[in-house]
Amino acid sequence: MSVLIAPSILSADFAGLGDAVARVERGGADLIHVDVMDGHFVPNITIGVPVVKSLRRIATVPLDVHLMIEDPDRYIEAFADAGAAMMSVHVEVLPHLHRTVHAIKALGVKAGVVLNPATPAATIQDIAADVDYVLVMSVNPGFGGQTFIPRSESKVREVRALLDGAGNGAPVEIDGGIDLHNISRVVAAGARMVVAGSAVFNTPDPERAVRELKAAALAAVPPVAVPR
């Protein structure tokens, strides 16, 4: 599998979301990462179902919806109806994670689970066979533009090993503080979906930023051994 780049619109100008999406799509964005925050699980409040619905009308790539909310079970159906292709939920808020993951899948949406920086990789051991992807947070969720937490690199390796151990080839996604300097390391560690917010939208040319991140990511994928 190659590496998918998922620009996070959190760092875009919300007055021009359509333009922001078009720009990153021109640069080769594979997904649009949508950060939903409720002011409870995380300190910030961002966007909700109506915005996802509008984005679905204009985006040509799938919407990757990251739910940083306290009670995701209440909202997964609404986000699915709004057009989320992928939805990830935090393990920290879900005592019945297995039920939630399967409820997301039953809606025809790819189901991801998210680990905060202080949540051990082993937390997902018993759900590893069921998930469509695992999102490793490389900052504490809540805001764009934070600094990458170095330990996240080995966390990606641990999650990859857990998924492999469960016989699940589902990709590992990474989110937080990713830029041109560290993207190679996280891809080499096994990340195959990479979220980037400020490294894309806090630049004069988001289209170019996506193109450069993607080139760096693809260059870092270890070569596959070709049998002779």
Binds Zn ion (CB under 5 A): choice among 111, 175, 210, 216: 175
How many residues bind to ligand DX5 according to rule CB under 6 A?
22
**Residue with smallest beta-carbon separation from ligand DX5:** 197
Specify the pairing of strand 110-115 against strand 32-37: unpaired
Nearest to 90 by CA among 156, 49, 51, 41: 41
Among 9, 17, 30, 35, the residue binding Zn ion under the rule CB under 5 A is 35
- Binding residue (CB under 6 A) for ligand DX5 from 197, 210, 212, 214: 197
Q: Which residues partner with 174 through β-bridges?
A: 136, 194
The yes or no reply on residue 198 touching ligand DX5 (CB under 6 A) is yes
Rounded CA Rg of the chain: 16
Strands (E), the chain: 4-7, 32-37, 63-68, 86-90, 110-115, 133-137, 172-175, 191-196
Please indicate whether residue 175 is annotated as part of the active site.
yes
Site string for ligand DX5, 136-175 (x = CB under 6 A): ---x-xxxxxx----------------------------x
Residues assigned a catalytic role: 35, 175
The footprint of Zn ion (CB under 5 A) covers 35, 66, 175
